[in-house]
Amino acid sequence: TRRITVRDIAAAKERGEKWPMLTAYDATTASVFDEAGIPVMLVGDSAGNCHLGYETTVPVTLDEMTMLSAAVVRGTSRALIVADLPFGSYQEGPVQALRSATRLVKEAGVGAVKLEGGERSHRQIELLVESGIPVMAHIGLTPQSVNAMGYRVQGRGEEAAQQLLRDAKAVQDAGAFAVVLELVPAELAGEVTRVLQIPTVGIGAGAATDAQVLVWTDMLGLTGGRVPKFVKQYADLRAVMRGAAEAFAEDVVSGTFPEESHSVH
């Protein structure tokens, strides 16, 4: 079996096929999703809040993204692995973006990178694509800008909608192979999806996008505390893991574990 490539992703849009994407931050979890047939995995900088214990994605470093991405690549054999360029690793300009993306491709072995911003990031996207690195863009809510924009629905109102459409066209023209639309009204996401030739990947963007992405710890119920309204929870891993840890603790305290069958002589 060979890995899925960005060419397969383009072919899926031509055939009108929808596809799923999940985040992954470690080899073990990624191997489960690979076995499940998830075709595209994102080593998101959501690792900041979902895996590394930061408050936001802002503090995540390129070193951290490289380490996590390498683990996800090692844990998978079929999925296309996309790695986020973290905040501060591409905003200085195209050359910095290329240097950062090159590390993720060479050291971690990812097949593509993702970066935030539409018109404002088009020069970065152009140079990466020219250099042979496939780019997934990310517009709408861009969490690396939380200090400027907060976590609010984007693209509401005529002016904001027009800006989102310009951003979508800008990343397509720059050569992006796909674009994430985060937290935008479903109708607007549908319009962007109809207008673009490249696939749209929605998160909190309704049902009309070509693909859907969820953060795996939200999707499987591992995240502590509240999860966004757009998440569908497919399991309650937090309850499963907590129950198992409590049972183990009880068994040890009461002397019920280990049993004879767990012992060697």
| Catalytic (active-site) positions | 182
3-state secondary structure of 226: coil
- Among 38, 62, 213, 220, interactor with ligand KIV by CB under 6 A: 213
Using rule CB under 6 A, residue 203 touches ligand KIV? yes
Half-sphere exposure of 45 (CA within 13 A, CB side): 25
Phi, psi of 21 (to 5 degrees): -135, 140
Nearer to Na ion, 34 or 84 (CB): 84
**8 Å CB contact between 210 and 200:** yes
Using rule CB under 6 A, residue 180 touches ligand KIV? yes
Nearer to ligand KIV, 130 or 213 (CB): 213
Strands 19-23 and 200-203, by their bridges, are: unpaired
What are the structure tokens assigned to 243, written together? 């129950």
d(CA 78, CA 38): 9
- Among 12, 66, 79, 84, interactor with ligand KIV by CB under 6 A: 84
Nearer to Na ion, 44 or 75 (CB): 44
- Binders of ligand KIV: how many residues, by CB under 6 A? 11
Residue of minimal Cβ distance to ligand KIV: 44
Using rule CB under 6 A, residue 23 touches ligand KIV? yes
Q: Tokens 């490289």 identify what position? A: 66
What are the structure tokens assigned to 247, written together? 């049972």
Using rule CB under 6 A, residue 46 touches ligand KIV? yes
d(CA 49, CA 23): 13
Binding residues vs Na ion (CB under 5 A): 44-45, 84
Q: Which residues make up the interface to ligand KIV (CB under 6 A)? A: 23, 42, 44-46, 84, 138, 180, 203, 213, 215
